[in-house]
Amino acid sequence: MAWRDVHGAARGVAYEVLGAADAELARALHDEGWRGHRLRPLGVTSPQFRGARRKAGVYTTSRDGSVWFGSPVPEIASALIRGLAGRTGLSWGRTRLRVLGFTLDGPAAATPMASPGGSEVVWETATPVVIKREDRYLLPGDEGFTELLEKNLAHKADVLGLPAPRGVRVLDAGPRRRFEVRGAPRIGAQVRVALAGEPEALDALRSWGLGLDTVQGFGWIR
């Protein structure tokens, strides 16, 4: 698979799956965002292949792989499920992926906190997290990365009418990764973070993702 298709094709695939079940919902989400907000509560991964051998210049594939889709909004999540049901393939850029089936993923377990009604979780992403300040991409360890990540989560929680999480801490991070999306770069790194919040909010945000461009396949939480 060409590197420019890995994340470059993700957005189109997500809307194609959504539109197969509800064309009007897909159009409105694409053109207008969600209920007056520019953010779109929709997440997807790039294709994740197991046992693929590395090769310079291409994103190698194998016969064993997965793509995850998610949304904290039941209407969108339901349309994704209907759009995937019975599907035999996905056109991922110039690569045709054969679909053998799909399963539903439930919420991750949370560790109770000392404060009543709160939970603490540790999240690890399967794809790089994209955080940007003005025209500069930030990486874990850069000044302002954690604060902007927490602000992004608070904004998403507000869109959903849920309490914002708190106490975001970056525990670990992978190497810098650069991808091309519609002719422009996206730069980020996979992260492992700890944060606290209400269980309902944490479950919702987990199915949306961390950082920017989640509909482009970034920031997916394992």
In this predicted structure, what is the pLDDT of residue 153?
98
Q: List, in order, residues 6 or more apart from 59 with CB less than 8 Å away.
A: 1, 2, 3, 5, 6, 46
Kindly list the structural domains of the chain, giving each domain's residue range(s) and its CATH number in brackets, ordered by start: 3-98 (3.30.70.1890), 111-216 (3.30.70.1900)
In this predicted structure, what is the pLDDT of residue 209?
97
In this predicted structure, what is the pLDDT of residue 115?
47
pTM of the model: 0.92
In this predicted structure, what is the pLDDT of residue 114?
47
Question: 111: how many CB neighbours lie within 10 A of its CB?
Answer: 10
Q: pLDDT of the chain along its 222 residues, tens only? A: 988 999 999 999 999 999 999 999 999 999 999 988 999 999 999 999 998 888 877 889 999 999 999 999 999 999 999 999 989 999 999 999 999 988 988 765 555 554 445 689 999 999 999 999 999 999 999 999 999 999 999 999 999 999 999 999 999 999 999 999 988 999 999 999 999 999 999 999 999 999 999 999 999 999
Cβ burial, residue 77 (10 Å; 0-12/13-18/19+)? middle
Cβ–Cβ < 8 Å for 41, 106: no
